[in-house]
């Protein structure tokens, strides 16, 4: 009975979890109760990447990034720790759904390009007198599309998918036939539960570009939401074949294999992924689920413990951490019961 309860609990968490492409890796250097201390660390950070002071409740955190992948993020974390060793900090890696932290959290920010950008702007300003060129109009339209996309992402991060759809439609009106925009629209409709419109948006993206991998990934995500993992396997496999370097396709393919009952194949995929991306929590979480389904409780414990280590101090995973801690207690009860008999 305990074993069945354990499997049902963790499978519930698994069906909610889907790895999104739109995740960005930051290095969180440290958090302080004093803004002055945070500002001192902020000023001492020497890097070409953006640096932020973020305020959450009464805590001030210094964050660097984003970095293009987890390997670079890890290397930068060690470099920053060494460069700032006088502070005796232990930087951690943070996953975020935003390439830029939400503006309501930002207290200060700096980039290496800020100064040169302002100087360049002053230098070219006199040349802008006169009629607006067609090239500038295109550039302005492109900037507007980018702005709408970023606003849509922020809305998605706040689970305000209705406004996300609104911004994406505005972006499509300005950006024209762009498979990326229709794919984003498909994701927004998926989160709203408007699955027919979501599928139509993804199909529209593929009509524009039949080899647009992210649209296939969107269809796979849609099928995971509909609890149709076999169909998701087909979609994610196609996305993975079109772009084997994209980590989210590989992870979601493995998740779909697990959900469709191909547990051994899923475990093999998770093991390959661990070798390539050893700091990605989703891999350990879902491989642990696979081990539970096979009855390999000790291996599941090992993966769950690594998951907890990788996600500490990261609020994005807070609900999953609570669920994992409950499951670990149940596993220990099962193993204790087996030993007693």
- Alpha-carbon torsion (280, 283, 288, 289), positive or negative: positive
Q: What is the pTM of this model?
A: 0.60
List of long-range contacts for 290-297, beta carbons under 8 Å, 24+ apart: 290/258, 290/263, 290/266, 291/267, 292/6, 292/7, 292/10, 292/327, 292/331, 293/7, 293/258, 293/263, 294/263, 294/267, 297/331, 297/334, 297/335
Render each residue's pLDDT in the chain as its tens digit; 341 residues: 333 333 333 333 333 334 344 457 788 888 777 888 888 888 888 888 889 888 776 778 888 888 766 677 878 888 888 888 777 777 887 766 566 776 767 878 887 544 433 333 444 444 444 444 555 445 545 678 888 888 888 888 788 889 989 999 998 988 777 899 999 999 999 999 999 999 999 999 999 999 999 999 999 999 999 999 999 999 999 999 999 988 889 999 999 999 999 999 999 999 999 888 887 888 999 999 999 999 999 999 999 999 998 888 777 788 889 999 999 998 988 888 877 65
The conformation of residue 244, written as its DSSP 8-state character, comes to: T
């Amino acid at each position: 009975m305990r074993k069945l309860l354990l499997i049902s609990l963790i499978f519930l968490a698994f069906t909610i979890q889907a790895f999104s492409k739109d995740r960005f890796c930051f290095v969180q250097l440290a958090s302080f109760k004093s803004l002055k201390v945070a500002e001192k660390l902020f000023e001492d950070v020497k890097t070409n990447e953006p640096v932020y002071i973020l305020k959450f409740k009464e805590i001030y955190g210094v964050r660097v990034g984003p970095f293009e992948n987890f390997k670079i993020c890890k290397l930068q974390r060690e470099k920053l720790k060494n460069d700032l060793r006088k502070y005796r900090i232990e930087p951690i890696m943070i996953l975020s759904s935003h390439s830029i932290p939400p503006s309501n959290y930002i207290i200060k920010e700096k980039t290496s390009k800020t100064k040169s950008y302002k100087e360049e702007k002053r230098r070219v300003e006199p040349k802008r007198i006169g009629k607006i060129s067609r090239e500038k109009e295109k550039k302005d339209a492109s900037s507007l599309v980018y702005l709408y996309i970023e606003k849509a992402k922020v809305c998605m991060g706040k689970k305000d998918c209705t406004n996300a759809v609104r911004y994406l439609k505005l972006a499509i009106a300005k950006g024209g036939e762009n498979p990326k925009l229709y794919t984003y629209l498909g994701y927004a409709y998926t989160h709203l539960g408007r699955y027919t419109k979501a599928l139509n948006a993804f199909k529209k993206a593929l009509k524009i570009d039949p080899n647009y991998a992210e649209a296939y990934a969107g269809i796979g995500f849609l099928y995971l939401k509909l609890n149709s993992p076999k169909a998701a396997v087909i979609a994610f496999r196609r996305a993975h074949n079109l772009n084997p370097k994209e980590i989210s396709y590989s992870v979601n393919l493995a998740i779909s294999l697990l959900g469709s009952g191909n547990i051994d194949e899923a475990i093999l995929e998770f093991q390959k992924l661990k070798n390539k991306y050893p700091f990605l929590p989703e891999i350990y979480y879902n491989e642990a689920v696979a081990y539970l389904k096979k009855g390999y409780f000790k291996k599941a414990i090992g993966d769950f413990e690594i998951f907890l280590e990788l996600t500490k101090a990261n609020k994005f995973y807070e609900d999953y951490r609570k669920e994992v801690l409950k499951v670990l207690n149940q596993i220990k009860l099962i193993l204790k019961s087996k030993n007693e008999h």
